[in-house]
Amino acid sequence: MSVSAADVKELRAKSGAGFMDCKKALGETGGDMDAAVTFLREKGLASAKKKVGRIAAEGIVNAYIHGGGKVGVLLEVNCETDFVAKTDEFKNFVGDIAMHIAAMNPAYARRDEVPGDVVEAEKLIFKNQALESGKPEKIIDKIIDGKIDKYFKENCLLEQTYVKDPDKTIEGLVTEMIAKLGENISIRRFARFMVGEGIEKKVEDFAAEVAKAGQA
């Protein structure tokens, strides 16, 4: 079918894809704009999966400060070339991830970073909770697996629901950006700081030490 230049222009604006890709998508979908957007998205995501294994050693470190200096995040996100690292799109993406970290406070980037002893400790807690609630022992393992999976989704950045769009996970957001920029992108590491965090506990510990010393 014949594809008009106006339709190609509209699709480019909606998808960010190139001219020839948009023209092909409209041809493949009979001129249906929504179907063409979906076609391009699926093609991009399939292409993105092939890029995940490529080395990403460039990128930027972003410093995000929130709440008038009450919360801060340092985040390193890598890509393949310095050219992409300098684009506004990549910088905005990294800024959005840093903002998400400030809001959602993930403990790890991905589930394989969670120490084994932490996982085992969580499993023990979930097992005791299940036993105390009277759950049959034959389903306890399944309950524990479900609870651990939920723990990963709540505490691992890539598995968290994106704070600005609950229909996406951070991992899904990364995949979309890989498809859009044409390079592998990896969230390497981050640190989150909050004013006063942990001080209360230290004060309590100090008070207990003083009390203990007074009893001696």
One DSSP character per residue, 56-67 reads: --EEEEEEEEET
Query: Could you count the other beta carbons within 10 Å of the beta carbon of residue 102?
Result: 22
Residue 26 in any domain: the answer is yes
Beta strands in the chain (DSSP E): 58-66, 71-79, 186-194
**Coil/strand/helix, residue 104:** helix
Within-domain flag for 213: no
Nearest Cα neighbor of 59 from 194, 197, 185 is: 185
Per-residue pLDDT of the chain (216 residues; tens, 9 = 90+): 677 888 888 877 766 566 777 888 888 888 888 888 777 776 665 455 555 556 677 999 999 998 889 999 999 999 999 999 999 999 999 999 999 999 999 999 999 999 999 999 999 998 888 888 888 878 888 889 999 999 999 999 999 999 999 888 999 899 888 888 888 899 999 999 999 887 766 655 655 655 565 555
Please give the distance of CA 212 from its chain centroid, rounded to a whole number: 45
Query: What CATH number has the domain bearing residue 171?
Result: 3.30.479.20
Q: Is residue 216 included in any domain, yes or no?
A: no
CB 44 within 8 A of CB 175: no
Check whether residue 100 and residue 131 sit in a common domain. Answer: no
Containing structural domain, residue 27: 5-51
State pTM to two decimals. Answer: 0.69
> Which residues lie across from 66 on neighbouring strands?
71
Position 186 in a domain: yes
**Residue 176 covered by a domain:** yes
Give yes or no: residues 80 and 103 share one domain: yes
What are residue 78's DSSP bridge partners?
A: 59, 186
Is 126 within 8 Å of 144 (Cβ atoms)?
yes
Both 105 and 192 in one domain: the answer is yes
Contact 198, 120 (CB under 8 A): no
Residue 214 forms part of a structural domain? no
